[in-house]
Amino acid sequence: MLTSIKIGCEIMEESNNDSNNIVNMSEKIKNYSTKRSMNLFKKAKKLIPTGASSLMRTSSWDPYPIYIKGGKGTRIWDVDGNQYIDFLMAFGPIINGHANDKINGAVKRYLKNGSLFGAPNEYEIKLAKEFKKFVKTQDMVIFALSGSDATFNALRIARAATGKDMVLKFEGHYHGLHDYAAVSVEAPPPVAGLRWFPKSLPYSAGIPSEVMDTVVVASWNDLESLSRILKIRGNEIGAIIMEPIMANSTVITPEDDYLKGVRELADEYNILLIFDEVITGFRVSEGGAQKLYGVTPDLSTWAKALGNGYPISAIAGKKEYMELIGNGVGYGGTYFGNPISLVAAYENLRLLGANDFQAYSHLARITRRLGRGIEEVAETLNENIYVNYETGVLSFVFTDLRKISNYRDSINIDWNKYKVIQGKMLQRGFYYHPDSAERIPPSVAHTEEDVDNFIIALEDSIKEYNREN
């Protein structure tokens, strides 16, 4: 039986008098205020479209997002002085905890030399070598700035290598917001077409129809439908890009041998297979999902957990394709491979790789404890909650479905219940995104106590929701 509830920076020990605990909890919730966040958001909207430089920082946060002032380890503080245990971790980059002393220390030491020179840097070589210790399945690596940079350039390499302009992606998979990726990220069933052969739908206004005509969309986790599509369009398609574990439409793991089957189909039709490991890389295992499932793509993209919060991404792949860069394929950016990000990523990987990658055993235990704890809450309260997780990534949703296998399954959930309960969790000192499509990415810094306190707060929040409804 769990024996303590952590709220902000305080621990309230349970007593035998349950009514006293309820009163104390009520006092904590009553004192919770985010007035300064509200006022900042009002000011921001007058100067910045939507109030922030990324839609996901404001989307689903009703009536306003929480403004975070700082953090350390798994704790963050908002501008009103509230403390939270962070289960969003900047959507996944913070794998070694906020304000990690070793990473920040290395960056501070380097900053004495300057920050950017527009020239090659020794740390680029050092990071490439460290990267290869983790990702043994890929021959070469090159660095960029964001996940979108990486997926955009990986698609360009694939088209150049195959001489074919079309690419295939999957419903609900997110590969950034460049035009070739912003297709069928959301796909309302009434207009999305057949399940086995979905329509290509723009995720944003402003995407040229000519671009849309080059992107074919398939339903994920369904080899039969993919095979049928490739029989029709396979000779035109140069790349298949996918998240090896879906993590933007809840967490959806691949069916047994599904990735292997996609690999075989790609080979049959002379298509390059790209794994978008922007989320799964350096998180689900030291070698990403491709190591976890034993399937090697031709190219792969990496970002979030590579830099522990410093902006960096990477493209890795087979030598024959990577060496097209500079031999017909253009590549570059002023901030690509900047020294500050290289130093941070190098120190981050050294921490993750210490003691034969011991960090991943801890991360697996933490994720499993969180997933099983949520399942126990569902059983205790007789709630229909579907939980899916792999090391370092987890989602839970309120749904009658026994299993979620693809995007169209993932939208049959109670979005509003999740959102309301997330608001109650905030009041109890736990921070994660109110959109249930978003993942919860535990970090190496999280402890069993962090997880246990999350579970207690979740059970209390669901009970409160049910009393009110």
Q: Which residues are the active-site residues? A: 174, 276, 304
Where are the strands (E) in 48-157, listed by range?
A: 68-72, 75-78, 83-86, 140-144
Are 346 and 307 in contact by the 8 Å Cβ rule? The answer is no
- Which tokens belong to 43? 């000011």
- How far is the C-alpha of 224 from the C-alpha of 42, rounded, in Å? 50
Are 259 and 72 in contact by the 8 Å Cβ rule? The answer is no
| CA proximity to 282, closest of 241, 318, 313 | 313
Helix, strand, or coil (residue 166)? strand
Q: Give the residue carrying structure tokens 């090391």.
A: 391
| CA proximity to 352, closest of 66, 80, 79, 134 | 134
- How far is the C-alpha of 217 from the C-alpha of 194, rounded, in Å? 11
Helix, strand, or coil (residue 237)? strand
Phi, psi dihedrals of residue 207, rounded to the nearest 5°: -90, 120
Are 121 and 133 in contact by the 8 Å Cβ rule? The answer is no
Residue ranges in 237-358 assigned as alpha helix (H): 258-268, 288-293, 304-307, 319-322, 339-357
Strands 83-86 and 430-431: parallel
Helix, strand, or coil (residue 265)? helix
| CA proximity to 157, closest of 336, 300, 324 | 324
Looking at the DSSP bridge assignments, the partners of residue 98 are 73
Neighbouring C-beta atoms of residue 337, cutoff 10 Å: 21
Are 439 and 243 in contact by the 8 Å Cβ rule? The answer is no
Are 300 and 290 in contact by the 8 Å Cβ rule? The answer is yes
